[in-house]
Structure 1
Protein backbone atom coordinates (compact mmCIF):
# COMPACT_ATOMS: atom_id res chain seq x y z
CA UNK A 1 0.00 0.00 0.00
CA UNK A 2 1.44 3.36 -0.95
CA UNK A 3 2.23 5.89 1.74
CA UNK A 4 1.86 8.73 -0.74
CA UNK A 5 -1.28 10.59 -1.74
CA UNK A 6 -3.04 9.25 -4.78
CA UNK A 7 -2.54 11.20 -8.01
CA UNK A 8 -5.25 11.99 -10.55
CA UNK A 9 -3.70 13.38 -13.74
CA UNK A 10 -5.78 14.53 -16.67
CA UNK A 11 -4.38 14.04 -20.17
CA UNK A 12 -6.15 16.47 -22.49
CA UNK A 13 -4.42 14.91 -25.53
CA UNK A 14 -4.77 17.17 -28.61
CA UNK A 15 -7.87 18.99 -27.40
CA UNK A 16 -8.63 22.49 -26.22
CA UNK A 17 -8.85 26.14 -27.16
CA UNK A 18 -8.19 29.31 -25.19
CA UNK A 19 -11.91 29.74 -24.48
CA UNK A 20 -12.64 26.06 -23.75
CA UNK A 21 -9.60 25.74 -21.47
CA UNK A 22 -10.61 28.76 -19.42
CA UNK A 23 -14.17 27.47 -18.97
CA UNK A 24 -12.96 23.98 -18.01
CA UNK A 25 -10.34 25.19 -15.53
CA UNK A 26 -12.76 27.65 -13.90
CA UNK A 27 -15.27 24.84 -13.41
CA UNK A 28 -12.57 22.57 -11.96
CA UNK A 29 -11.30 25.22 -9.56
CA UNK A 30 -14.85 26.00 -8.47
CA UNK A 31 -15.51 22.36 -7.58
CA UNK A 32 -12.18 20.90 -6.48
CA UNK A 33 -12.05 22.36 -2.96
CA UNK A 34 -9.18 20.87 -0.98
CA UNK A 35 -8.70 17.48 -2.65
CA UNK A 36 -7.55 14.45 -0.67
CA UNK A 37 -5.32 13.49 -3.61
CA UNK A 38 -2.82 15.29 -5.82
CA UNK A 39 -4.31 16.62 -9.05
CA UNK A 40 -2.63 17.60 -12.32
CA UNK A 41 -3.68 18.44 -15.87
CA UNK A 42 -1.32 17.63 -18.76
CA UNK A 43 -2.09 20.05 -21.57
CA UNK A 44 -0.93 20.68 -25.16
CA UNK A 45 2.29 22.73 -25.32
CA UNK A 46 0.73 25.90 -26.82
CA UNK A 47 -1.47 26.25 -23.73
CA UNK A 48 1.20 25.93 -21.03
CA UNK A 49 1.41 29.70 -20.51
CA UNK A 50 -2.36 30.07 -20.27
CA UNK A 51 -2.65 27.19 -17.81
CA UNK A 52 0.30 28.40 -15.73
CA UNK A 53 -1.66 31.61 -15.22
CA UNK A 54 -5.07 29.96 -14.66
CA UNK A 55 -3.75 27.40 -12.15
CA UNK A 56 -1.48 29.78 -10.22
CA UNK A 57 -1.98 29.33 -6.47
CA UNK A 58 -4.48 26.51 -6.98
CA UNK A 59 -4.32 22.86 -5.81
CA UNK A 60 -4.08 21.69 -9.44
CA UNK A 61 -0.56 21.17 -10.82
CA UNK A 62 0.48 21.75 -14.41
CA UNK A 63 1.71 18.90 -16.58
CA UNK A 64 3.06 18.49 -20.12
CA UNK A 65 2.26 15.64 -22.52
CA UNK A 66 5.80 15.03 -23.78
CA UNK A 67 9.33 16.44 -23.66
CA UNK A 68 12.61 16.09 -25.51
CA UNK A 69 15.44 13.95 -24.22
CA UNK A 70 17.79 16.67 -25.51
CA UNK A 71 18.68 19.70 -23.36
CA UNK A 72 18.72 22.22 -26.27
CA UNK A 73 19.81 22.66 -29.87
CA UNK A 74 18.70 21.95 -33.43
CA UNK A 75 15.60 19.90 -32.65
CA UNK A 76 12.81 21.74 -34.43
CA UNK A 77 9.38 21.30 -32.89
CA UNK A 78 10.67 19.87 -29.60
CA UNK A 79 10.41 21.26 -26.06
CA UNK A 80 13.16 20.67 -23.52
CA UNK A 81 12.57 19.89 -19.86
CA UNK A 82 14.16 23.22 -18.91
CA UNK A 83 11.64 25.06 -21.10
CA UNK A 84 8.77 23.21 -19.45
CA UNK A 85 10.21 24.05 -16.03
CA UNK A 86 10.12 27.74 -17.06
CA UNK A 87 6.33 27.43 -17.22
CA UNK A 88 5.98 25.81 -13.81
CA UNK A 89 5.42 22.32 -15.19
CA UNK A 90 5.50 19.73 -12.40
CA UNK A 91 4.64 16.55 -14.32
CA UNK A 92 5.36 15.27 -17.84
CA UNK A 93 3.81 12.24 -19.53
CA UNK A 94 6.56 10.08 -21.03
CA UNK A 95 6.13 7.21 -23.48
CA UNK A 96 2.36 7.41 -23.87
CA UNK A 97 1.13 4.58 -26.09
CA UNK A 98 0.08 7.12 -28.73
CA UNK A 99 3.67 8.47 -28.83
CA UNK A 100 5.01 4.92 -29.08
CA UNK A 101 2.51 4.00 -31.81
CA UNK A 102 2.44 7.14 -33.97
CA UNK A 103 5.91 8.58 -33.35
CA UNK A 104 7.96 5.40 -33.08
CA UNK A 105 9.12 6.02 -29.53
CA UNK A 106 11.29 3.19 -28.23
CA UNK A 107 11.83 1.88 -24.71
CA UNK A 108 15.32 3.42 -24.78
CA UNK A 109 13.98 6.79 -25.93
CA UNK A 110 11.40 6.76 -23.16
CA UNK A 111 14.16 6.03 -20.63
CA UNK A 112 16.18 9.01 -21.93
CA UNK A 113 13.15 11.33 -21.69
CA UNK A 114 12.55 10.10 -18.15
CA UNK A 115 16.14 11.03 -17.28
CA UNK A 116 15.74 14.51 -18.81
CA UNK A 117 12.60 15.16 -16.75
CA UNK A 118 14.21 13.96 -13.51
CA UNK A 119 17.33 16.06 -14.12
CA UNK A 120 15.12 19.15 -14.26
CA UNK A 121 12.95 18.42 -11.25
CA UNK A 122 9.91 17.38 -13.29
CA UNK A 123 8.11 14.19 -12.26
CA UNK A 124 7.80 11.86 -15.27
CA UNK A 125 4.60 9.86 -15.61
CA UNK A 126 6.07 6.84 -17.38
CA UNK A 127 3.49 4.92 -19.42
CA UNK A 128 3.63 1.17 -20.00
CA UNK A 129 1.02 -1.15 -21.49
CA UNK A 130 0.23 -3.93 -23.93
CA UNK A 131 -1.78 -3.98 -27.16
CA UNK A 132 -4.77 -6.27 -27.68
CA UNK A 133 -2.65 -8.64 -29.80
CA UNK A 134 0.00 -8.82 -27.05
CA UNK A 135 -2.64 -9.47 -24.40
CA UNK A 136 -4.34 -12.19 -26.45
CA UNK A 137 -0.97 -13.85 -27.03
CA UNK A 138 -0.36 -13.92 -23.27
CA UNK A 139 2.50 -11.43 -23.40
CA UNK A 140 1.17 -8.75 -21.02
CA UNK A 141 3.71 -9.37 -18.24
CA UNK A 142 6.61 -9.65 -20.66
CA UNK A 143 5.73 -6.37 -22.44
CA UNK A 144 5.13 -4.16 -19.40
CA UNK A 145 8.19 -5.54 -17.60
CA UNK A 146 10.38 -4.88 -20.66
CA UNK A 147 9.09 -1.32 -20.97
CA UNK A 148 9.65 -0.55 -17.29
CA UNK A 149 13.02 -2.36 -17.18
CA UNK A 150 14.43 0.04 -19.80
CA UNK A 151 13.50 3.01 -17.62
CA UNK A 152 14.90 1.38 -14.47
CA UNK A 153 18.14 0.51 -16.29
CA UNK A 154 18.87 4.18 -17.09
CA UNK A 155 17.31 5.78 -14.00
CA UNK A 156 17.82 3.17 -11.29
CA UNK A 157 19.51 5.58 -8.89
CA UNK A 158 16.42 7.82 -8.74
CA UNK A 159 13.65 5.44 -9.77
CA UNK A 160 11.71 6.27 -6.58
CA UNK A 161 11.05 9.75 -8.07
CA UNK A 162 8.99 8.53 -11.02
CA UNK A 163 5.28 7.85 -11.41
CA UNK A 164 4.28 4.81 -13.49
CA UNK A 165 1.04 4.63 -15.47
CA UNK A 166 -0.27 1.27 -16.64
CA UNK A 167 -2.36 1.87 -19.74
CA UNK A 168 -3.59 -1.26 -21.49
CA UNK A 169 -3.57 0.03 -25.08
CA UNK A 170 -6.70 -1.98 -25.89
CA UNK A 171 -8.61 0.00 -23.24
CA UNK A 172 -7.63 3.55 -24.23
CA UNK A 173 -10.49 5.56 -25.68
CA UNK A 174 -12.32 2.34 -26.56
CA UNK A 175 -14.69 2.36 -23.61
CA UNK A 176 -13.25 -1.03 -22.64
CA UNK A 177 -11.72 -1.08 -19.19
CA UNK A 178 -9.65 -3.73 -17.54
CA UNK A 179 -11.59 -5.23 -14.64
CA UNK A 180 -10.34 -3.98 -11.27
CA UNK A 181 -8.90 -7.46 -10.61
CA UNK A 182 -7.09 -7.59 -13.95
CA UNK A 183 -5.71 -4.06 -13.53
CA UNK A 184 -4.62 -4.87 -9.96
CA UNK A 185 -2.76 -7.99 -11.11
CA UNK A 186 -0.64 -5.94 -13.55
CA UNK A 187 -0.10 -3.18 -10.98
CA UNK A 188 1.10 -5.80 -8.47
CA UNK A 189 3.51 -7.16 -11.09
CA UNK A 190 4.92 -3.65 -11.69
CA UNK A 191 5.16 -3.02 -7.94
CA UNK A 192 7.21 -6.22 -7.53
CA UNK A 193 9.53 -5.11 -10.33
CA UNK A 194 9.94 -1.68 -8.71
CA UNK A 195 10.54 -3.34 -5.35
CA UNK A 196 13.43 -5.24 -6.87
CA UNK A 197 14.87 -1.94 -8.18
CA UNK A 198 13.97 0.49 -5.42
CA UNK A 199 13.81 -1.79 -2.40
CA UNK A 200 11.96 -0.11 0.48
CA UNK A 201 11.00 2.91 -1.68
CA UNK A 202 8.83 0.82 -4.01
CA UNK A 203 5.73 1.19 -1.83
CA UNK A 204 5.96 4.96 -2.24
CA UNK A 205 6.10 4.90 -6.07
CA UNK A 206 2.68 5.69 -7.44
CA UNK A 207 1.30 3.41 -10.15
CA UNK A 208 -1.65 4.96 -11.97
CA UNK A 209 -4.26 3.17 -14.06
CA UNK A 210 -4.75 4.70 -17.49
CA UNK A 211 -7.27 2.70 -19.49
CA UNK A 212 -10.63 4.47 -19.78
CA UNK A 213 -11.00 5.30 -16.09
CA UNK A 214 -14.18 7.35 -15.75
CA UNK A 215 -16.63 8.69 -13.18
CA UNK A 216 -18.54 5.39 -13.11
CA UNK A 217 -15.62 2.99 -12.54
CA UNK A 218 -13.05 5.16 -10.73
CA UNK A 219 -14.00 4.27 -7.15
CA UNK A 220 -13.79 0.52 -7.78
CA UNK A 221 -10.44 0.78 -9.57
CA UNK A 222 -8.97 3.14 -6.97
CA UNK A 223 -9.97 0.75 -4.16
CA UNK A 224 -7.40 -1.80 -5.41
CA UNK A 225 -4.30 -2.00 -3.19
CA UNK A 226 -1.73 -1.20 -5.90
CA UNK A 227 -3.70 1.37 -7.92
CA UNK A 228 -2.48 4.75 -6.70
CA UNK A 229 -4.44 7.03 -8.99
CA UNK A 230 -5.42 7.51 -12.60
CA UNK A 231 -4.20 8.96 -15.88
CA UNK A 232 -7.49 10.22 -17.25
CA UNK A 233 -8.15 10.89 -20.92
CA UNK A 234 -11.63 11.82 -22.17
CA UNK A 235 -13.18 12.22 -18.72
CA UNK A 236 -10.62 14.94 -17.84
CA UNK A 237 -12.22 17.23 -20.44
CA UNK A 238 -15.56 17.17 -18.61
CA UNK A 239 -15.41 19.05 -15.32
CA UNK A 240 -18.17 17.09 -13.50
CA UNK A 241 -16.62 13.73 -14.45
CA UNK A 242 -13.06 14.75 -13.57
CA UNK A 243 -14.22 16.19 -10.23
CA UNK A 244 -16.05 12.94 -9.44
CA UNK A 245 -12.86 10.93 -10.13
CA UNK A 246 -10.86 13.30 -7.90
CA UNK A 247 -13.43 12.85 -5.14
CA UNK A 248 -13.10 9.05 -5.44
CA UNK A 249 -9.31 9.19 -4.89
CA UNK A 250 -8.95 9.07 -1.11
Structure 2
Protein backbone atom coordinates (compact mmCIF):
# COMPACT_ATOMS: atom_id res chain seq x y z
CA UNK A 1 0.00 0.00 0.00
CA UNK A 2 1.34 3.45 -0.90
CA UNK A 3 0.87 5.92 1.95
CA UNK A 4 1.94 9.56 1.65
CA UNK A 5 2.67 11.32 4.94
CA UNK A 6 2.45 15.10 4.77
CA UNK A 7 4.78 16.42 7.45
CA UNK A 8 6.67 13.17 7.13
CA UNK A 9 9.95 14.57 8.47
CA UNK A 10 8.49 16.01 11.68
CA UNK A 11 8.19 14.58 15.18
CA UNK A 12 5.23 12.30 14.46
CA UNK A 13 5.65 12.02 10.71
CA UNK A 14 9.16 10.58 10.82
CA UNK A 15 8.11 7.96 13.38
CA UNK A 16 5.05 7.11 11.30
CA UNK A 17 6.99 6.67 8.07
CA UNK A 18 9.43 4.34 9.85
CA UNK A 19 6.62 2.22 11.28
CA UNK A 20 4.80 1.96 7.96
CA UNK A 21 7.94 0.97 6.08
CA UNK A 22 8.73 -1.65 8.73
CA UNK A 23 5.27 -3.11 8.07
CA UNK A 24 6.05 -3.45 4.36
CA UNK A 25 4.20 -0.42 3.03
CA UNK A 26 5.50 2.14 0.56
CA UNK A 27 5.55 5.12 2.89
CA UNK A 28 6.47 8.43 1.27
CA UNK A 29 7.53 11.36 3.43
CA UNK A 30 6.29 14.65 1.98
CA UNK A 31 7.48 18.00 3.30
CA UNK A 32 8.71 21.36 2.05
CA UNK A 33 12.28 20.25 2.61
CA UNK A 34 11.63 17.36 0.24
CA UNK A 35 10.04 19.54 -2.44
CA UNK A 36 6.37 19.09 -1.48
CA UNK A 37 4.61 22.22 -0.25
CA UNK A 38 0.98 21.67 0.67
CA UNK A 39 0.42 25.41 1.15
CA UNK A 40 1.44 26.35 -2.39
CA UNK A 41 0.61 23.01 -3.99
CA UNK A 42 4.17 22.54 -5.26
CA UNK A 43 4.97 18.86 -5.82
CA UNK A 44 1.65 17.60 -4.45
CA UNK A 45 0.35 15.82 -7.54
CA UNK A 46 3.60 13.95 -8.10
CA UNK A 47 3.88 12.93 -4.46
CA UNK A 48 0.31 11.63 -4.25
CA UNK A 49 0.25 9.89 -7.65
CA UNK A 50 -0.61 6.23 -7.12
CA UNK A 51 -1.27 6.65 -3.40
CA UNK A 52 -3.90 4.65 -1.56
CA UNK A 53 -3.81 6.71 1.64
CA UNK A 54 -2.71 10.21 2.61
CA UNK A 55 -1.89 11.25 6.17
CA UNK A 56 -1.67 14.86 7.32
CA UNK A 57 0.51 15.53 10.37
CA UNK A 58 1.66 18.97 9.22
CA UNK A 59 1.85 21.88 11.62
CA UNK A 60 2.75 25.55 11.66
CA UNK A 61 3.96 27.83 14.46
CA UNK A 62 1.19 29.78 16.23
CA UNK A 63 1.10 33.20 14.61
CA UNK A 64 -1.88 35.42 13.79
CA UNK A 65 -5.40 34.04 13.59
CA UNK A 66 -5.54 34.89 9.90
CA UNK A 67 -2.26 33.16 9.11
CA UNK A 68 -3.31 30.04 11.00
CA UNK A 69 -6.65 29.86 9.22
CA UNK A 70 -4.95 30.36 5.87
CA UNK A 71 -2.41 27.62 6.50
CA UNK A 72 -4.76 24.91 7.73
CA UNK A 73 -7.57 25.67 5.29
CA UNK A 74 -5.40 26.10 2.20
CA UNK A 75 -2.89 23.31 2.82
CA UNK A 76 -5.70 20.87 3.62
CA UNK A 77 -7.73 21.84 0.57
CA UNK A 78 -4.67 21.40 -1.64
CA UNK A 79 -3.93 17.97 -0.17
CA UNK A 80 -7.51 16.85 -0.74
CA UNK A 81 -7.57 18.13 -4.30
CA UNK A 82 -4.46 16.08 -5.08
CA UNK A 83 -5.94 13.09 -3.25
CA UNK A 84 -9.16 13.22 -5.27
CA UNK A 85 -7.20 13.43 -8.51
CA UNK A 86 -5.12 10.41 -7.51
CA UNK A 87 -8.08 8.32 -6.37
CA UNK A 88 -6.97 8.16 -2.74
CA UNK A 89 -9.42 6.13 -0.65
CA UNK A 90 -8.53 7.36 2.85
CA UNK A 91 -7.29 10.71 4.18
CA UNK A 92 -6.14 10.62 7.81
CA UNK A 93 -5.50 13.86 9.71
CA UNK A 94 -4.10 14.52 13.16
CA UNK A 95 -5.96 17.11 15.24
CA UNK A 96 -6.28 17.95 18.94
CA UNK A 97 -8.66 16.74 21.65
CA UNK A 98 -10.76 19.67 22.82
CA UNK A 99 -10.14 21.74 19.70
CA UNK A 100 -13.83 22.65 19.60
CA UNK A 101 -14.03 23.39 23.36
CA UNK A 102 -11.47 26.13 23.88
CA UNK A 103 -13.23 29.29 22.70
CA UNK A 104 -11.03 32.17 21.71
CA UNK A 105 -7.96 30.12 20.79
CA UNK A 106 -6.82 31.12 17.28
CA UNK A 107 -4.77 27.92 16.92
CA UNK A 108 -7.53 25.53 17.97
CA UNK A 109 -10.13 27.40 15.94
CA UNK A 110 -7.87 26.92 12.91
CA UNK A 111 -7.64 23.19 13.66
CA UNK A 112 -11.44 23.01 13.75
CA UNK A 113 -11.51 24.76 10.39
CA UNK A 114 -9.08 22.14 9.08
CA UNK A 115 -11.41 19.38 10.28
CA UNK A 116 -14.33 21.03 8.49
CA UNK A 117 -12.38 21.16 5.23
CA UNK A 118 -11.54 17.47 5.58
CA UNK A 119 -15.14 16.47 6.28
CA UNK A 120 -16.33 18.34 3.19
CA UNK A 121 -13.38 17.38 1.00
CA UNK A 122 -14.85 14.49 -0.96
CA UNK A 123 -12.29 11.90 0.21
CA UNK A 124 -13.16 9.22 2.81
CA UNK A 125 -11.48 10.37 6.01
CA UNK A 126 -10.57 9.81 9.63
CA UNK A 127 -9.90 12.71 11.99
CA UNK A 128 -7.76 11.68 14.97
CA UNK A 129 -7.89 14.10 17.87
CA UNK A 130 -4.92 13.43 20.17
CA UNK A 131 -4.29 14.86 23.62
CA UNK A 132 -1.11 16.74 24.50
CA UNK A 133 2.09 14.76 24.03
CA UNK A 134 4.34 14.00 26.98
CA UNK A 135 7.09 15.66 24.93
CA UNK A 136 5.19 18.98 24.96
CA UNK A 137 5.41 19.48 28.74
CA UNK A 138 8.48 21.71 28.48
CA UNK A 139 6.92 23.86 25.75
CA UNK A 140 3.67 24.21 27.70
CA UNK A 141 5.67 25.32 30.72
CA UNK A 142 7.67 27.83 28.70
CA UNK A 143 4.55 29.40 27.22
CA UNK A 144 2.94 29.78 30.65
CA UNK A 145 5.98 31.04 32.59
CA UNK A 146 5.89 34.42 34.36
CA UNK A 147 9.18 34.98 36.16
CA UNK A 148 9.76 31.76 38.07
CA UNK A 149 6.07 30.77 38.11
CA UNK A 150 4.17 28.64 35.61
CA UNK A 151 0.43 29.34 35.55
CA UNK A 152 -1.78 26.66 34.04
CA UNK A 153 -5.48 25.94 34.06
CA UNK A 154 -6.10 22.99 36.44
CA UNK A 155 -8.27 21.04 34.04
CA UNK A 156 -8.04 17.26 33.62
CA UNK A 157 -6.06 15.98 30.65
CA UNK A 158 -4.83 12.62 29.35
CA UNK A 159 -1.36 13.23 27.92
CA UNK A 160 0.10 10.71 25.51
CA UNK A 161 3.54 9.58 24.32
CA UNK A 162 4.49 10.63 20.79
CA UNK A 163 5.48 7.02 20.05
CA UNK A 164 1.95 5.91 20.93
CA UNK A 165 0.48 8.55 18.62
CA UNK A 166 2.61 7.33 15.72
CA UNK A 167 1.70 3.70 16.44
CA UNK A 168 -2.01 4.50 16.47
CA UNK A 169 -1.77 6.44 13.22
CA UNK A 170 0.14 3.58 11.58
CA UNK A 171 -2.72 1.25 12.47
CA UNK A 172 -5.47 3.64 11.44
CA UNK A 173 -3.78 4.48 8.13
CA UNK A 174 -4.25 0.90 6.95
CA UNK A 175 -7.75 0.55 8.43
CA UNK A 176 -11.02 1.57 6.76
CA UNK A 177 -11.87 5.29 6.98
CA UNK A 178 -14.29 6.20 9.77
CA UNK A 179 -15.68 9.35 8.14
CA UNK A 180 -15.71 10.83 11.61
CA UNK A 181 -13.62 11.77 14.63
CA UNK A 182 -11.68 9.44 16.94
CA UNK A 183 -10.16 10.68 20.20
CA UNK A 184 -6.72 9.35 21.12
CA UNK A 185 -5.34 9.72 24.65
CA UNK A 186 -2.95 8.31 27.21
CA UNK A 187 -4.07 5.99 30.04
CA UNK A 188 -3.74 8.48 32.92
CA UNK A 189 -6.05 11.38 33.74
CA UNK A 190 -3.84 14.16 35.14
CA UNK A 191 -4.59 17.82 35.74
CA UNK A 192 -2.75 19.97 33.23
CA UNK A 193 -0.85 21.82 35.97
CA UNK A 194 0.14 18.50 37.60
CA UNK A 195 1.28 17.14 34.25
CA UNK A 196 3.75 19.99 33.85
CA UNK A 197 4.68 20.07 37.56
CA UNK A 198 5.71 16.41 37.47
CA UNK A 199 7.84 17.01 34.39
CA UNK A 200 9.63 19.98 35.94
CA UNK A 201 10.25 18.04 39.15
CA UNK A 202 11.62 15.08 37.17
CA UNK A 203 14.02 17.39 35.33
CA UNK A 204 15.02 19.34 38.47
CA UNK A 205 13.54 22.55 37.09
CA UNK A 206 13.06 25.06 39.94
CA UNK A 207 10.04 26.81 38.47
CA UNK A 208 6.86 26.71 40.57
CA UNK A 209 3.63 25.54 38.92
CA UNK A 210 0.36 27.16 40.01
CA UNK A 211 -3.10 25.95 39.07
CA UNK A 212 -4.91 29.06 37.86
CA UNK A 213 -8.54 28.72 36.67
CA UNK A 214 -8.13 32.02 34.81
CA UNK A 215 -5.20 30.77 32.73
CA UNK A 216 -5.74 30.17 29.02
CA UNK A 217 -5.14 27.15 26.81
CA UNK A 218 -3.63 27.89 23.38
CA UNK A 219 -4.76 31.47 24.02
CA UNK A 220 -8.39 30.57 24.71
CA UNK A 221 -10.69 29.60 27.53
CA UNK A 222 -11.42 26.06 28.66
CA UNK A 223 -15.03 24.89 28.61
CA UNK A 224 -15.64 22.01 31.03
CA UNK A 225 -13.25 19.04 30.72
CA UNK A 226 -12.26 19.29 27.04
CA UNK A 227 -8.79 17.78 27.30
CA UNK A 228 -9.77 14.17 27.97
CA UNK A 229 -10.93 11.53 25.51
CA UNK A 230 -14.64 11.28 24.90
CA UNK A 231 -16.68 8.05 24.89
CA UNK A 232 -15.26 5.48 22.50
CA UNK A 233 -11.82 7.09 22.45
CA UNK A 234 -8.70 5.03 21.88
CA UNK A 235 -6.44 4.72 24.93
CA UNK A 236 -2.69 4.29 24.42
CA UNK A 237 -0.58 2.02 26.65
CA UNK A 238 2.29 4.19 27.92
CA UNK A 239 1.89 5.65 31.43
CA UNK A 240 3.33 9.08 32.16
CA UNK A 241 5.27 7.86 35.21
CA UNK A 242 6.97 5.18 33.13
CA UNK A 243 7.87 7.70 30.43
CA UNK A 244 9.34 10.09 32.99
CA UNK A 245 11.31 7.29 34.64
CA UNK A 246 12.77 6.24 31.30
CA UNK A 247 14.19 9.71 30.61
TM exceeds 0.5?
no
Q: In which range does the TM-score fall when normalised by the shorter chain?
A: 0.3 to 0.5
TM-score between both structures, scaled by the size of structure 1: 0.38
Counting strand residues as a fraction of each chain, which structure ranks higher? 2
Counting helix residues as a fraction of each chain, which structure ranks higher? 1
Q: Please tell me whether Structure 1 or Structure 2 has the larger radius of gyration of its CA atoms.
A: 2
TM-score between both structures, scaled by the size of structure 2: 0.38
